[in-house]
């Protein structure tokens, strides 16, 4: 299953940015524990807002991915579907097949 190169590149980029932002947040939290200051708190808030924005961008990319993948999955599944088995004949109370047309 293939996705477009641009979508793939966008996904890789956003994941890298998220990892970097989360690592930055973790480092700032550690710095805050060692040396509490308002400037560090402000930086943490900025990074948190950035992480939220990246998450929203990632959500849009996932939606694009679903739009690209779902039609492909439906086409592949339809190619490999086997016909539905015929329902069993109706049997009467004696275990014999009944003629439904009567």
Per-residue pLDDT tens listing for the chain (102 residues): 688 999 999 999 999 999 999 999 999 999 999 999 999 999 999 999 999 999 999 999 999 999 988 876 666 666 666 555 555 555 555 655 555 554
Domain of 32?
5-80
The reported pLDDT for the residue numbered 102 is 45
Q: Is residue 16 part of a domain?
A: yes
Q: Is residue 41 part of a domain?
A: yes
Q: Is residue 52 part of a domain?
A: yes
For 43-75, b where at least 16 C-beta lie within 10 A, e where not — what string?
Answer: bbeebeebbeebeeebeebeebbeeeeeeeeee
- State the residue for tokens 């939290």: 29
Sign of the alpha-carbon dihedral angle for 5, 11, 12, 17: positive
* Domain total in the chain: 1
Q: Is residue 95 part of a domain?
A: no
The reported pLDDT for the residue numbered 78 is 63
The reported pLDDT for the residue numbered 100 is 52
Two tokens, residue 57: 């961008």
The reported pLDDT for the residue numbered 25 is 98
């Amino acid at each position: 299953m293939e996705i477009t190169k641009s979508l793939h590149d966008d996904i890789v980029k956003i994941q890298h940015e998220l990892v970097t932002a989360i690592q930055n947040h973790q480092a700032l939290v550690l710095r805050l524990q060692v040396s509490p200051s308002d400037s560090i708190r402000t930086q943490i808030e900025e990074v948190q807002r950035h992480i939220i924005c990246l998450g929203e961008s990632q959500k849009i990319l996932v939606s694009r991915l679903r739009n690209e993948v779902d039609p492909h999955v439906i086409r592949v599944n339809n190619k490999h579907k086997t016909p539905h088995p015929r329902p069993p004949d109706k049997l009467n109370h004696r275990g014999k097949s009944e003629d439904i047309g009567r």
